[in-house]
Structure 1
Amino acid sequence: MEIVIRKATDDDIPAIFGLIQELAIYENGLDKVKNSVDQMYAEKDFFNCYVAEDNGEIIGMSLYYFVYYTWVGKALYLDDLFVKEAYRGKKIGSKLMQKMMDVAREEKCHRLRLQVLNWNSPAIEFYKKSGFNIDEDWHNCDFIDL
């Protein structure tokens, strides 16, 4: 196994969308996925992505975009970090996370932010080991179906 972390290309969008669906299944939320491959192509200027590849197969991803927080300024928001189940425990998530930290530093971001479900203990432990502070004080507020 030789894992390569690389910037995603347009050709990777179908595989990335497949990983998004796998993540949604893991999080018991496949019915909430309204995105599509076509929509991702149409909106590709609004996100960035790195993929983890093993012998040409995309086995993981970190999908992110830049945001601005009034209290700190420019930040990198890591929307999804996902590795296929068969490849977990092989430090691939750590490699993707390191790439996100490198990108945030290179882009002069003042924060790297992500969300994690409160029941996802393996992810919470991974993020804590990566140095993240888990904030218990804030709640997500979404207005859906615009």
Structure 2
Amino acid sequence: MSIQIRPIEEADFTQLVALFKEFAIFEKAPELMTNTVEKMIAEKDYINGYAAVNEENTIIGYATCFFAYYTWIGKSFYMDDLYVKPEYRAQGIGTKLINSIIDLATKEHCSKLRWQVSEWNTPAIGFYKSLGAQINETERNCDLIL
């Protein structure tokens, strides 16, 4: 199977919204996924990341990211999501996606890459630790929905 990792394009938005919904179900929070194709088109200047695409031009995984600034360390990169459809997992696709994010953060001279992982998602925690990531057990998310 040949998988291409490429930057997300506007033409991907319909497939991505379907994957966002799938990921929200996986995360046990489907009610929190309120994004739409129309909203993505209006906000396309803020969408960064990579799509994993198979031979049929179907997106089977994605990683989204953005620049951040942390006062203690400086310019950084934040990976918002990394998701691969269940039937394509354990084939190196997640590794290719996160390596694309790491490569971009390195190229842009970021001091660190940060992301979240659900405490119940032990396969993902193991994967991230195998990359050398440090899992912070102290901090908790604070979201204010506007």
On whether the aligned pair clears a TM of 0.5, the verdict is yes
* TM-score normalised by length of structure 2: 0.96
1:15, 1:69 → 2: CA distance?
32
Partner of 2:53: 53
Partner of 1:36: 36
Structure 1 residue 54 displacement after superposition: 0.8
Q: Which sections of structure 1, spanning at least 5 residues, go unmatched?
A: none
Partner SS state of residue 109, structure 1: coil
Q: Which of structure 1's runs of 4+ aligned residues deviate more than 4 A?
A: none
Partner SS state of residue 77, structure 2: strand
* Deviation sequence 1:23-45 (CA, Å, 0-9, x none): 10101111111211111111111
* Deviation sequence 1:53-77 (CA, Å, 0-9, x none): 1111110101111111111111110
1:131, 1:16 → 2: CA distance?
28
2:43, 2:81 → 1: CA distance?
16
Identity across matched positions, percent: 46
Greater CA deviation, 92-101 or 35-44? Answer: 35-44
Matched, 1:113 2:114: yes
Partner of 1:13: 13
Partner of 1:143: 144
Q: Which sections of structure 2, spanning at least 5 residues, go unmatched?
A: none
The CA RMSD over aligned residues, in Å, is: 0.8
